[in-house]
Structure 1
Amino acid sequence: ASLSVVDIAERAVSRTVAVRGEPAALGHNAQEGRLYVVSRAENTLSVLDGTSFEEMAALPVGSWPVGVFWNPVNNRAFVINEGSNDLHVYHGRNHGLLGIVRVGVLPSAWWWDAAANNLWVVNNGSNDLTVINCSTLAVAATVRVGSGPVELAAGPNGQYLYVSNATAGTLSKVEVAGRRVTATIPVGYRPGAMVVDSANARLWVCAEGSNQVKVLCTAGDTVITDFDPGSLPVALAWNPAAKRIYVANFFGNSVTIIRETTGLAGEPVAGPEPARFFTVVARVGSRLRLDRAGVRGPLSVHDPAGRLVARFAGTEWRTAGTGAGSYFITAGRPARPVARVVLLD
């Protein structure tokens, strides 16, 4: 496993650094000049010198870590562990373990409220958000949202959060100060990644299950149009200088560029009617029946990199011989995602 160091001015890889197995996420401690690398294979947080890229420490974390967040107020690194449903918190200077914070089931995403110094964590498996006080490490609140939450994004003024609920096909609008859901917005099949265009008060949402990108007006929380960017849109980025939205299409192996002011007055286009997306959590070696929600074989199993893991004619997946991790089940032609399976040791 390795880390590529890119020279921004030259737009070229200047160095390749060996790291621990299955690096899943990066973090940067600006105060100490250090890099954090999360290793899923070893369940560790590697601390690298930001200049030499030498490993300074390898800190144990929980199972299946998916991300790391550095808090500049307290100089702490928070590691989100999807497999053990907790966060390991380390001091940014001496690397001491400050605490382990229990959250909901399958934490998958997070957002930092800088004004209150609270960390909001999305729990995909328990359909809620955990609000953590970053100074005391106490859980300040638990907020129920829709089914299968996967991502969250702050609105233009930071007073509200939008949570994409993949299984429910909705967004939950959450008041940050009141820690409560104020609206539920239908957006289509399997909403995932989101990005906020604060200049135009727009929220862009990947509706992965229908291969669309939905555009919402945040003033009224209504869908005003949608686009068909490619096969399985999974990530978004907003370029305010160029006034462009970039959409990464997983199965399309492409990036679609959309002018942010084009087509916003258009009528929404109805998407196809794929089976409702669902998530399954099971142990390695389980025999999984995937014939729910209208799913029919043949089915294909892909890893997060898009590599084919298995293909079978029916709807039962015998997972013996498959390693722990997260997998996507697709069906039909063209292939569409119908389920996410998380296998635990």
Structure 2
Amino acid sequence: MRPAAMLLAVCCCLSAVTGQWLETTILCDSLALPVQPWCLAYDSIHDVFYVGGKGLDGNVLAFDGQTNQPVRVIRTGHNVMELCLNPVAGKLYCMHPDVNEVTVVDGTSGEIVAVLSCGAGAAALCCNTRENKVYCANKTSNSVTVIDGGGDTVITTVQVFVNPRILAYSSLANKVYVGCNPDTYSLKKLYILDGVTNQVRANFSFDGGHGWCGLACNTAVNKSYYFYDDHGFTGRMVGVDGESDTIVVQLPIGYASFPARFNPASNKLYCGTCDGGSGRVEIIDAGSDSLIRSLRINAYNPRALCANPVDNKMYCADYGSVISVVDGAGDSVTAEIPVTSNNAWCFNRVRDRLYVAQGVKDTIVVVDGAGDSVLARFSTVGALPVDLVYSKLRNKVYCANEGIGTVTIIDGATNEPRAFLQVGRGSRALCYSRVADRVYCACYTADSVVAISGSGDSVTASLGTGLRPSAVACDSASGKVYVANYAAHSLTVADSALAGVLAITQVGSYPNALCHDPERRRMYCANSGSASVSVIDTRTDSVTATVPVGTLPSALCLGMSAAKLYCANKVGGTVSVIACDSLRVTRTLSVGTSPRALCYNPTDEKIYVANAGGGIAIINAQTDSVEARGIWSSVGFAALHHSDLNDRVYCVGSDNASGYVVVLDGASNSQVKLLYPGTTPVSLAWNPQQARMYVANCSSATISVIRDSMLGLEEQPGHRLARGLEPTLVRGVLRLAATAEATLINSSGQKVLCLRPGPNDVGHVPSGVYFICPMRASAGTQPSPAIKVVIQQ
């Protein structure tokens, strides 16, 4: 899904009804996406490094260069196969070969400021720092797209030879070098583009073989180098003078592969070659253009080189098991760092760190440049945020990330992550105790429950439970903690400090859901294996009754006013209604396929059912009859939550393409909003202080924050912006060519400015993407569609 759809709350008009919009996205202490990280870029201005790759959502993730903590997620919508920093404009460029586009991101705000069309088969990016331009090589359309870094527009497209794959920019010559490398044994070509005029100044032809080619620019003298293989099992280096555009040197080197880099600290060129199955690094003196040494390394096919000018080193790796560190002074391998499957590199000069993307292993590795040791590893898959809980006392949101065994703590006022806590493998379920001011997390794989201090944001205790704890709940009267042990068929009961186990209560087989009844001092436990609900007296921690229900009970919900317990039975698609006084099933309702979650609406006396097999069902809690079923039947729903702020029910689910938040009106059962969070949303938490709903997106490992307001934005479904349209660029003055007034809103859906017909001063408005929402011309008329603009200062 593209960013325009993700930010659909801004494609709207003003309305005097309740509004909801996607406010921001928070990372869950993991890259999570992109799966197969493919490219890296370091921004020295903001001390941030970016990661892109083949993720399902096309996310680019930003990490703090000092702490290595995730700071931002940028939704580009497609695979990101190359990243390029433009330090002059302070922007990041993201290349999408699958849709022939380049996304431009503001480095300060992280906002997308433009999406530009490039040629077919985009293959490489580079930046011209003297002229503030960015170039994109397009291997299918045999061209180079030239982008204006200031105006975020395509200046021109330059036609070159077949299959341009690599680019290099020389700041001394102010020229761009384009390496054209056909896939077959045929001619190879080197093109030289003028950095000012964008014209082809020269091109050279070489009788080449099947291998790749390489480019490197000498930043000490005005010279650039092209590496290629000929028809024999040898390679060649060609040196081109940057002033005269003539070939001044040709040097035979080892056979193909040809990643090439220049190290300004040693004034040497390095080229990776593969000679008879033996990986080598050819070391060339850039002063005399002579081969110093052909250095054998522990690599079959060296495919990547990265210079460390701070410590005078060159890093070399292939698909194998190590990174070879070559000393720039001694021309020898001084260390081997155990990092495998290396796809991309970038170097942080400010922190003296090397970042390595391990595509196959879905990991980012941070290497200390001075000590040649691994400082940190980040898994790029499997964060799996699965549960959320809110603390009203502390105004914090807690997110359990099952895949990496952590809990993310988020400030409810600022949406900033406060802490990332390691709690144990399989952190699956959360509950908050106001009495103890603690959050409890059940760790399914670690067979434990962990207590987190609400004031200190730290783990205060960990207690062993039975096998596979799958649910946790608290007794508000005593402060006791109850943990359902799925594989042990029991409940572990502990005191609020988790100082010890108070009781182990045997229940039915495979307990998987808990529900607390404070009025009757009970804990209800759904037993998925024995088709029953166990009733536990929280004063004695003993089972007082067992109620037979449907097959595979999976969720429980208490209807407080009518004193009823509702149990969702996954197999058979039913909900059992249990009278709390008699503990008997009074009715069994057919609701849909695979019901997995329930929620209660006390305002309208309704029970909502999320069906994993598709659709939402609504039960009238007064008559215990089904009012509606099959709402959004094409979407498998996972979680529900009622907001008493304006009587709205949030329903999250997904299909094969997208994640959805469907907002229903509690009184009429009608849909009032449709939003698009991350991939596979599975849990919800409501923050009443800031009127925010938090959505845990399992597959994309993000938390979407939805803002709610009594006077907000109402989406016009028929008015989505076409993805291919380029935004209107505005500087200083925005002219409104209309007879009616309009409102300028930002990408979070918040009002920024009232606009009047004619010129409007927007010189004080920060740069970014905005939307013009026209007012209704008269009562009863439909508003015009929103217009997307990009404001630049």
Q: Do Structure 1 and Structure 2 share a fold, with TM-score over 0.5?
A: yes
Aligned: 1:108 with 2:509: no
**C-alpha distance after superposition, 1:187-225 (max 9, x if no partner):** 22212211122211222112322x111122222222222
Structure 2 partner of 1:219? 622
Aligned: 1:16 with 2:400: no
Aligned: 1:242 with 2:646: yes
Match of 1:157 among 547, 558, 561: 561
The aligned amino acid for 1:220 is: T
Structure 2 partner of 1:27? 431
SS in 2 for 1:157: coil
The aligned amino acid for 1:39 is: C
The aligned amino acid for 1:245 is: V
Match of 1:255 among 661, 664, 674: 661
Question: Higher relative contact order by CA 8 Å / sep ≥ 6: 1 or 2?
Answer: 2
Structure 2 partner of 1:178? 582
**C-alpha distance after superposition, 1:120-153 (max 9, x if no partner):** 1011110000001111111100000111211121
Structure 1 partner of 2:522? 118
Residue 8 to residue 263, structure 1, CA distance change in 2 (3 Å): closer
Residue 218 to residue 70, structure 1, CA distance change in 2 (3 Å): closer
Residue 39 to residue 263, structure 1, CA distance change in 2 (3 Å): closer
SS in 2 for 1:6: strand
Residue 200 to residue 20, structure 1, CA distance change in 2 (3 Å): same
Structure 2 partner of 1:167? 571
Does the 8 Å contact 1:237/1:245 carry over to 2? yes
Cα distance between partner residues in 2 of 1:26 and 1:94: 15
State which structure, 1 or 2, has the greater radius of gyration over its C-alpha atoms.
2
Q: Shift of the alpha carbon at 1:119?
A: 0.5
Cα distance between partner residues in 2 of 1:173 and 1:74: 28
**C-alpha distance after superposition, 1:251-300 (max 9, x if no partner):** 33221112223357xxxxxxxxxxxxxxxxxxxxxxxxxxxxxxxxxxxx
Does the 8 Å contact 1:75/1:93 carry over to 2? no
SS in 2 for 1:192: strand
Does the 8 Å contact 1:229/1:247 carry over to 2? no
Q: In angstroms, what is the RMSD of aligned CA positions? A: 2.1
Q: Shift of the alpha carbon at 1:108?
A: 1.2
Structure 2 partner of 1:207? 611
Cα distance between partner residues in 1 of 2:663 and 2:605: 19
Cα distance between partner residues in 2 of 1:95 and 1:158: 37
Residue 202 to residue 260, structure 1, CA distance change in 2 (3 Å): same
Q: Shift of the alpha carbon at 1:156?
A: 4.6
Moved more, 200-209 or 103-112: 200-209
Match of 1:139 among 538, 543, 546: 543
The aligned amino acid for 2:628 is: T
**C-alpha distance after superposition, 1:50-101 (max 9, x if no partner):** 3223333221101111122121222211111111111111112461211100
Q: Runs of 5+ in structure 2 lacking a partner?
A: 1-404, 671-696, 701-793
Residue 216 to residue 55, structure 1, CA distance change in 2 (3 Å): closer
Does the 8 Å contact 2:474/2:516 carry over to 1? no
Structure 2 partner of 1:187? 591
Instruction: Give the TM-score of the pair, scaled to structure 1.
Output: 0.72
Cα distance between partner residues in 1 of 2:541 and 2:648: 38
Number of aligned pairs?
A: 267
Structure 2 partner of 1:82? 486
Structure 1 partner of 2:161? none
SS in 1 for 2:551: coil
Does the 8 Å contact 1:230/1:256 carry over to 2? no
The aligned amino acid for 1:257 is: V
Cα distance between partner residues in 1 of 2:628 and 2:523: 32
Structure 2 partner of 1:36? 440
